Amino acid sequence: MSFRIGTRGSALALAQTERVVELLADRGVDADVVTITTEGDTTIGVPLHAIGGQGVFVRALDDAILRGEIDAAVHSMKDIPAARPAGLTCCAVLERDSPADFLAHEVPLDALRVIGSSSTRRRAQILRDDPTLEVRQLRGNVDTRIRKLREGRYDAIVLAEAGLERLGLTLEGEPLPVGRFVPSPNQGTIAVVCRDDPAVVETLATLDDARTRLDVGVERAVMEEVGGGCFTPQGIYCRGGDLVAEVLSLDGSRWERIERRVTTIDEARVCGRELRERAADLIREAYAALGIRP
């Protein structure tokens, strides 16, 4: 059986998909790559929350699977929203790459004044770490963001370290410690989504990494209980059952945080409900500030 694997057309999305295709080839499975344009790729002049959040990168690929145009799609797992359409399943989670953010800069650290990022989480965490910095919106693919940095529009930009590694890019700068800059849930993880067909699932599930699936499953369980999507600054990271999760105010001046040892998804959900309760005011404030009804 030959599979049709859908992907966005960015260099990073294509690199991630080629990894999946190569892993399938190692198992004797043929796959063709189908490139699909998403709303997130074509609407780049506004913040993500204004066009529906991270889910805009996923919706078109979901629809293509459900229409039968492709058999599966490859995603950065952090882009997959909590609510998923019926008829789809996450059949494989690849072994995790670096979960860290990377601060790319070509000027000394003590000269940084303007940081580029479109993420509410990154903005809040940067301002918490140094309230004197200015964080400006930055959208576009990795190449576009790097170009804007080199044009001097920003003193530094924040990217996912895993994305740079997958593209084979080496930039001046350093990864940010995950304890202080807690990553987005599932950052650094590639996921394969397919139609809920046993024959398709059985083949693609051979790519699954059980340890990574459990860690990211814990993160997603916390995320689902907390709610807020990309509208509320939140970092959630689990490694080998060690969970750290936080919700911040938009300006990074206040936050709620939990650190726990978690061994099951049910325990993760308890942590998520606790964090949601403790951070209720921060979540309401984020929605209100962005003019969004919860």
**Is the Cβ–Cβ distance between 98 and 188 less than 8 Å?**
yes
d(CA 18, CA 109): 35
Q: Among residues 71, 79, 97, 101, which one is catalytic? A: 79
CB 135 within 8 A of CB 117: yes
E-strand ranges in the chain read: 2-7, 30-35, 72-76, 88-93, 101-105, 114-116, 134-136, 156-160, 173-175, 190-195, 234-239, 242-248, 255-261
172/39 Cα distance (integer angstroms): 31
How far apart CA 119 and CA 10 sit, in angstroms, is: 19
DSSP conformation class of 247: E
Task: Show the CA angle centred on residue 243, arms to residues 239 and 249, nearest 5°.
Answer: 125
- Non-local (6+) Cβ contacts of 285 within 8 A are 249, 250
List CB contacts of 88: < 8 A, sequence separation 6 or more.
62, 65, 66, 193, 194, 195, 196
Alpha helices in 84-209 (DSSP H): 120-129, 142-150, 161-167, 198-204
Instruction: Report the run of H or E that residue 267 belongs to, with start and end.
Output: helix 265-278
> Active site includes 79?
yes
Amino acid identity of 36? I
Which residues are part of the catalytic machinery?
79
